[in-house]
Amino acid sequence: MWKSKKLALLFTGALVLAACSNQVKNATETLTAIKTEETDIVAQFNGMQQLETELQTSFEESLSADEKLATFKDGSAKVFENIAERRDSAKKIESALADLVKTKGELIALDEKTLPLEDIKAFGSTVDALNDSSKTYLEAYKTSLDKEEEILSGFGGDDATFDTFYAGIASINADADANQANMQAIVTGLTAVENQLAALETAIASLDDKKDAAESSAATDSSSATAEKAAVKDAVKKAEPVAYTYQINPKISSVEPIAADGETQVALLTFDDTPQQPDSHAVAIAETLKAKGANAIFFVVGQFLESEQAKKDLKTISDMGFEIGNHSYTHPDFLKMSYDEQLAEISKTNDAIEAVTGKRPRFLRAPYGQWNDDTATIAAAEGMTMMNWTYGYDWVAEYMDGPALADVMVNSQYLGDGANLLMHDRPWTSEAIGSIIDGLRAKNFTIVDPTLIASPERKDSL
């Protein structure tokens, strides 16, 4: 009844830049602040998207609790809490955007000949464009929330009819579609910000390299330090995972070739909440994948492995050669947890998976796509690559059907180079997966083998 409003979930990582002068140091610190602010914006957008995902459940619970819809009339139905939370998310995004624009201004104000000023100014224009598109989106979004609240309140009116009900739902869905279309400009803007930040990082790092070279040549007694520095650089170079073919884009979780001339028209298949208990379809999905010569990542919820059947299923999937990922132990919202609580969720799941398969997971997918700096720190310490996804539909009511799911997964507007497809351990997903593989290949997409995707702890292997 309600359409999913899906934002391709976005990742951001931390910049680590060296300083060679006060201005370079200031630029580095300002870029890091910008990265943090951008992370906050992304987290808020993703949080708002998660609330939209929960909207259907809130609506159904409100209907079940009040068949006469009196709580819709007085505004006390649970679904109105969801609307209020989304309004709050929109306000937080507006505040985070204001902080980003302010810090961008501080970066541009660093008027120093040694800095890449043209690149910095171009970056400033990109931030302004992102701010403009986000403000336009949020204004329309807040208007749609007001309309949504008015329509839902009207369901409890004395003159409400079934026609009122269905017309209201259709109107809300139409606004959802419009908001979804407008979101693409924000995704594009965030991607542009990420790319230009990376370019600025490279440019400023090169200033440090030049300074290091100058100091090295001017030094009269630096042979020991120089040799030590060279040895460290050489060790790092030897540790690079050059044997891998692909890597995960830390911003948008897409799959990218490591080599400049690598294959780009690829798609990654992933399955969350495996092996679902008590009725898992993960083995059947794996068998279809195997029969069609396709690979995938199965992301495990650790608490399922308290079941002996789940352990047996996971061992079967692992022995078939499929990559096993970590999807936390109890599927909580990491943003509401402390560092120690997140560590327990992640490490306990890694331990449980290793006890069954003999291997520790190389990939981590945070529940709901929600994570923060603590999550990233833990993942790095555990030697894991983090990823969210590009799109998925199998939790939406209208796609809980094999043919319908196969059609939308293959023909989604979000299918593009390196798409990271999110699916779950569900019967309709098992029914659809064969057609999804065939459909992707008919469009000349290669199904990525996850063993070819880089991860920190395996960088010396292969």
Look up tokens 């803007």; give the residue. 189
Alpha-carbon gap, residue 358 to 323, rounded angstroms:
12
Domain 255-458 has CATH 3.30.70.270: no
**Per-residue pLDDT for 237 more than 80?**
no
Q: How confident is the model at residue 160 (pLDDT cuts 50, 70, 90)?
A: confident
Q: Are strands 323-326 and 266-274 parallel, antiparallel or unpaired?
A: unpaired
Q: How confident is the model at residue 242 (pLDDT cuts 50, 70, 90)?
A: very low
Reduced 3-state DSSP string for 269-285:
EEEEEECCCCCCCHHHH
Least confident of 86-100, 121-135, 171-185, 368-382: 171-185
Q: How distant, in Å, are the alpha carbons of 26, 201, 210, 213, 222 from that of 19?
A: 8, 11, 12, 14, 20
- DSSP labels, 312-352: HHHHHHHHTT-EEEE--SS---GGGS-HHHHHHHHHHHHHH
Closest CA to 110 of 189, 179, 169, 28: 28
Could you tell me the two tokens for 68? Answer: 């006469």
What confidence score (pLDDT) does residue 209 get? Answer: 53
What residues does CATH 1.20.120.570 cover in the chain? Answer: 22-215
- pTM value is 0.53
Q: Model confidence over 375-408: pLDDT tens digits? A: 999 999 999 999 999 999 998 889 999 999 999 9
Choose among 95, 69, 96, 91: nearest CA to 80: 69
Lowest mean pLDDT among 70-84, 186-200, 262-276: 186-200
Nearest to 416 by CA among 298, 178, 256: 256
What is the model's pLDDT at position 113? 65
The per-residue pLDDT for 58 is 78
What is the percent of the chain with per-residue pLDDT over 70, rounded to a whole number?
84
Write out the residue limits of the CATH 3.20.20.370 domain(s) in the chain: 255-458
Distances (CA, A) of 122 to 31, 108, 198, 390, 407: 14, 10, 13, 27, 40
* Overall average pLDDT of the 433-440 stretch: 97
Q: What is the mean pLDDT of the chain?
A: 82
Higher per-residue pLDDT: 213 or 254:
254
Residue 306: closest CA among 349, 343, 340, 347? 349
Residue whose structure tokens are 């979780």: 253
**Residues paired with residue 248 on neighbouring β-strands, in sequence order:** 255
Q: What fold characterizes domain 22-215?
A: Four Helix Bundle (Hemerythrin (Met), subunit A) (1.20.120)
